[in-house]
Amino acid sequence: MSSLPFADPIFGIPSWLDIIVRVIVAALVLTVIVIYATYGERKLLGRFQQRLGPMKTGPWGLWQGVADAVKLVGKEDIRPNNADRWVFEFAPYLTFIPIFVTLVTLPVAQEWGIRNLSLGLFFVFAVMGLNIVGIVMAGLGSGNKYALLGGVRAAAQMISYEIPLVISLLSVTMVAGTLDLNLIAAMQSLSPDEGQHAPFIALQPLAFLIFFTAMLSELHRAPFDIPVAESEVVGGYFVEYSGIRWSMFQLAEYASLFAWAIFGSVVFLGGWAVPGPDTFNLGSWWGPDWAWHAAFTIVKALLWFVVIVWIRATVPRLRIDQLMNFCWKVLLPLSLVQFLMTGFAVVYEWPEWVMAITSAAGAAVLIAIIIRRALRKPKNTLVGSYRRAQVPVQ
């Protein structure tokens, strides 16, 4: 299979200038997306909680995100006296730069993106994992005990959950036979052609569930928002930040939310790939191909976003030891099982439905493990009756 090349330099400008233009455009677009992601989250949360969400700034509160951004830029940048100056001031950059760097290879459409890397999946991982450095720096450098606890929690959590995350993705790449995100997306088109698969969510539901769970943890999203728990550590590692530096953490959080959503939809849902055989060409109906591709990706990414917000609105927070237990005792073994099953299926060339069914069974086990406690819901209330004579003598 030949690698899908990205388009030629836009407008025929020199390639070095082309890269700069693409980077700037991508960064700006992501910033706008982040601003509206915060708006969207607040609106959605409002609906889940029987409120309206932002309504006052512009029609339906549409300018709320912009107003917040402007306000944050204008606020004073406070540095606590006992903070470690350079560590404190550089932590926000180290948190959000890695997220933006992943954009280099995330394919929004077949021919969109900054550069197509043949090790795209590996690159996204390697770079995403770096932002823990910024988080730990923020925790240590703030000179605040809540921040310290939050930073340490974040480090423990992210390092633990990266393992099942990577193993679940390895199963996908074993079937795909490539780390190129464009190729992975292209092969999930549901067409009967050679080298085409069903979307990997159908082929490997267990890997998908593990990926999704671990991704929530990497994102510090409920129910894994332990490092930033408001009711415990009052915001965690960014508790001492204000103004522009705080907004960089916020930027990193939502940018990584979207980066993960695009990444996950590319790997498991087929990304921009148009379902159906290659001859089924949407572009011949209306509009160019890339517009259809981008629309597919964005709709899938928004779906992830909505589900993540939905979970956040519904589920309470785990405790740190339960979090670790869940990772090491449940997710890791199951991801290894998935890995082994995929390995056998690939080496012995079992048909794909075998892989799908065994993985679905594993997914059922995972769900059963998760909800086993809640099944013991008390059915009726114990009722005591009391008469004066029954007072136990103390």
> Given the complex with another protein, which of 281 and 325 has the nearer CB atom?
325
- Residues 309 and 167: their CA atoms lie apart, in Å, by 25
Smallest distance, Å, CB 176 to another protein? Answer: 33
Amino acid symbol at 211:
F
> Given the complex with another protein, which of 149 and 334 has the nearer CB atom?
149
**Contact set for another protein, span 127-146 (CB under 8 A):** 145-146
**Contact set for another protein, span 220-259 (CB under 8 A):** 222-223, 225-226, 229-234
Smallest distance, Å, CB 313 to another protein? Answer: 5
| Contact call for residue 381 and another protein (CB under 8 A) | yes
Smallest distance, Å, CB 318 to another protein? Answer: 6
Smallest distance, Å, CB 326 to another protein? Answer: 9
Smallest distance, Å, CB 189 to another protein? Answer: 36
> Given the complex with another protein, which of 159 and 299 has the nearer CB atom?
159
Number of residues that this document lists for the chain: 394
Q: How many CB atoms lie within 10 A of CB 62?
A: 14
- Residues 252 and 196: their CA atoms lie apart, in Å, by 35
Q: How many CB atoms lie within 10 A of CB 313?
A: 15
Q: Are 108 and 291 in contact (CB under 8 A)?
A: no
Cα 354–Cα 357–Cα 362 angle in degrees, nearest 5: 125
| Contact call for residue 149 and another protein (CB under 8 A) | yes
The binding track of 310-349 with respect to another protein, each residue x by CB under 8 A or -, is --xxxxxxxxxxx---------------------------
> Given the complex with another protein, which of 99 and 148 has the nearer CB atom?
148
Sign of CA dihedral 93, 102, 253, 138: negative
Which span (13-21, 96-104, 165-173, 372-380) binds another protein, by CB under 8 A? 372-380
Smallest distance, Å, CB 221 to another protein? Answer: 10
**Contact set for another protein, span 34-53 (CB under 8 A):** 45, 48-51
Smallest distance, Å, CB 109 to another protein? Answer: 34
> Given the complex with another protein, which of 53 and 61 has the nearer CB atom?
53
Smallest distance, Å, CB 75 to another protein? Answer: 20
3-state DSSP of 178-234:
CCCHHHHHHCCCCCCCCCCCCCHHHHCHHHHHHHHHHHHHHCCCCCCCHHHCHHHHC
Smallest distance, Å, CB 229 to another protein? Answer: 6
- Residues 73 and 272: their CA atoms lie apart, in Å, by 35
> Given the complex with another protein, which of 85 and 373 has the nearer CB atom?
373
Smallest distance, Å, CB 242 to another protein? Answer: 16
- Residues 216 and 224: their CA atoms lie apart, in Å, by 7
- Residues 238 and 46: their CA atoms lie apart, in Å, by 24
- Residues 335 and 165: their CA atoms lie apart, in Å, by 8
- Residues 367 and 379: their CA atoms lie apart, in Å, by 22
Out of 14, 59, 351, 371, point to the residue binding another protein (CB under 8 A). 371
> Given the complex with another protein, which of 45 and 295 has the nearer CB atom?
45
Tokens of 151: 């930073």
> Given the complex with another protein, which of 163 and 313 has the nearer CB atom?
313
- Residues 360 and 362: their CA atoms lie apart, in Å, by 5
Out of 12, 74, 286, 382, point to the residue binding another protein (CB under 8 A). 382
Q: DSSP class of residue 56?
A: S
Q: Please, which residues have CB within 8 angstroms of residue 134's CB and are 6 or more apart in sequence?
A: 90, 91, 92, 93, 94, 95, 96, 98, 252
Which span (115-123, 186-194, 200-208, 379-387) binds another protein, by CB under 8 A? 379-387
Residues that bind another protein (CB under 8 A): 45, 48-51, 145-146, 148-149, 153, 222-223, 225-226, 229-234, 312-322, 370-374, 376-378, 381-386, 388, 391-392, 394
